[in-house]
Amino acid sequence: MPGIVVFRRRWSAGSDDFVVPAVLLLFLHGVWLVAISVIYAHVEFNSQQTCSIDLKNHLLGYIIILSVCIVLETLIMGVSVRGGILDTQPRASMQYLLYARLVVLFGEIAWLVVGIKWLVDHYTVCGPDPARKAVLGIVVCNCCLMLSAIISLWCTFDYAGAKWVKMKRYQESMKEKARRARRSGSARRNWRQR
């Protein structure tokens, strides 16, 4: 299982190591999506208070973010189970899925900051109680997920990864140069051909 190359560096995790994290995140995000969707559909929000409208819009934003996360995690899980240990060609699109997931992660972080700001300003004075508790729960859960993501990145970071990618590119260019030299016939003659 060779390490995956993302951001022009090799990481200690292979492209087939994303099945379990994708399944766990898929389950967690699925549970949160169902819970927030039920709260969004069945709780009455006060349209006279701006903080209640903000809370409703915040829940809608989480529904959208969680839906996109579920789609991406399903794709990551599906691509990660393809191929064999050394047959990485079926998983070649994994790095692009990880780039897309990273963009969504930045959106999650921004929405997490908005949720924390809403909780600090309006938690005790505004909104229906189930919606407030749901926002508090998802903010705490997302903080734990962000902490685990940072720890995972720290553990899979390969300090020599950039040098490994440069070495592989150099080896491939040398092989290609040798192939071209053999085809053109301009290779240096050895002592037997003189």
What pLDDT score was predicted for residue 35? 94
173 in the same domain as 153: no
The whole-number average pLDDT for the span 8-17 is 72
The whole-number average pLDDT for the span 96-123 is 91
60 in the same domain as 146: yes
Contact 89, 83 (CB under 8 A): yes
Domain that holds residue 148: 3-158
41 in the same domain as 95: yes
The whole-number average pLDDT for the span 102-110 is 93
DSSP 159: T
The winner for highest mean pLDDT among 18-27, 33-42, 80-89 is 33-42
24 in the same domain as 99: yes
Average pLDDT, the chain: 83
What pLDDT score was predicted for residue 185? 59
Q: Give the whole-angstrom CA distance, residue 22 versus residue 32.
A: 15
Q: Kindly tell me if the per-residue pLDDT of 186 is higher than 60.
A: no
The whole-number average pLDDT for the span 146-153 is 86
Q: Kindly tell me if the per-residue pLDDT of 171 is higher than 70.
A: yes
The whole-number average pLDDT for the span 147-161 is 76
101 in the same domain as 43: yes
Confidence of residue 187 (pLDDT cuts 50, 70, 90): low
118 in the same domain as 26: yes
62 in the same domain as 148: yes
72 in the same domain as 41: yes
Q: How many domains does the chain have?
A: 2
What pLDDT score was predicted for residue 74? 94
60 in the same domain as 106: yes
pLDDT per position as a tens digit, 40-87:
999 888 888 888 889 899 999 999 999 999 999 999 999 888 877 777
Q: Which helix (H) or strand (E) is 11 found in, with range?
A: strand 9-14
Predicted TM-score (pTM) above 0.85: no
168 in the same domain as 86: no
Please write down the long-range contacts of 143-149, taking CB distance under 8 Å and 24 or more positions apart.
143/112, 145/25, 145/28, 146/108, 146/109, 146/112, 149/105
124 in the same domain as 67: yes
168 in the same domain as 148: no
